Amino acid sequence: MSDQRQQLLSGVHQAIGHTPMVHLSRITAGLDGAIYAKLEYLNPGFSKKDRIALQIIEEAEQDGSLQPGQPVVELTSGNTGTGLAIVCAVKGYPFIAVMSKGNSYERARMMRALGAEVVLVDQAPGPVPGQVSGESLALVEAEAQRLVREQGAFRADQFERLGNTHAHEHHTAMEIWAQTKGEIDVFVDFAGSGGTFAGCAKALKRCNPAIRCYVVEPESAPYLAGQPVTNPNHRIQGGGYSMKLPLLDREDVTDYLTVSDEEAIAAARELARKEGIFAGFSSGANIAAAMRLLRERERGARIALTINDSGLKYLSTDLFD
């Protein structure tokens, strides 16, 4: 993922990464400290997941686990699938995305437009559209496994493959470090697959062991913190699945934070109105957690985080009603 944006690229996959970083001075006015936001929604697929899609595919090409023309299958809430649809289109692999019907339909339409086959799986009993629980995700996983067997496919497996961590350890984190000139105290991340936190925390702590790294979860589903899950059917799409995350190294976790659905939504709306950054639910969760830290235990800190995806992917939801 070298920075070739000043050159003629041989494919759009070479435009992945090297996203801008912005000081959010408007929403933090009056607070002691700063928030630095990495605009991952400016990747070609409008999310940070483009990075892991490229890393996982290229590592699989290098070790021989992915053969030319072999189908690729992955479970996705939409963003990893979009990234894989882009990378597979450029590199010539058929791609099958398996997604819960609870996710916003814009992402399924986008993946289909990019040439992917999209398999939508019914939700587990109980949740309404927009609320994807770990139980619903388990149904998607079962369908993904079936398709891998039937198609003889390569499973991208974002929850297990180290390419997920490597994309952020070798690229995202080092870009953050360079863009801030190393002047950061805290990293905050809403946990989906755990790869962003795992990779960024590992690399940033290697640069400066004093950096504090916080995992963010839904208020009603603080599973990783070891607290009771009162409602797994929260509205923050793309994470908070109340399930083990094999990539997450607890030794790198300073502490666990929670945000409510309402806090995440309010922060996403404020981010759009005051900073002109149009982002989704999980980005709102990151912002809400960072703002609370600046008001409370991390006053005066310089906090880095990612803006995970575009608000365009949620126009069918009530995020911006």
| SS3 track for 238-303 | CCCCCCCCCCCCHHHCCEEEEECHHHHHHHHHHHHHHHCCCECHHHHHHHHHHHHHHHCCCCCCEE
Q: How far is CA 11 from CA 5, 7, 36, 181, 207, in A?
A: 11, 11, 30, 30, 32
Active-site residue (options: 38, 47, 48, 49): 49
Torsion of CA 90, 95, 100, 106, to 10 degrees: 30
| Number of residues written out for the chain | 321
Identify the burial level of 210 via C-beta atoms within 10 angstroms of its C-beta, where 0-12 means exposed, 13-18 middle and 19 or more buried: exposed
Alpha carbons 72 and 163: distance in angstroms, whole number: 15
**CA 115 to CA 211: how far, in whole Å?**
41
Write out the two tokens for 27: 């929403």
Residue with tokens 């925390």: 201
Active-site residue (options: 282, 283, 310, 313)? 282
Tokens at residue 34, please?
């700063």
Q: Check if 282 is active-site.
A: yes
Who contacts 228 (Cβ-Cβ below 8 Å, separation ≥6)?
Answer: 222
Other residues' Cβ atoms within 10 Å of the Cβ of residue 181: 7
Q: Looking at the annotation, which residues are catalytic? A: 49, 282
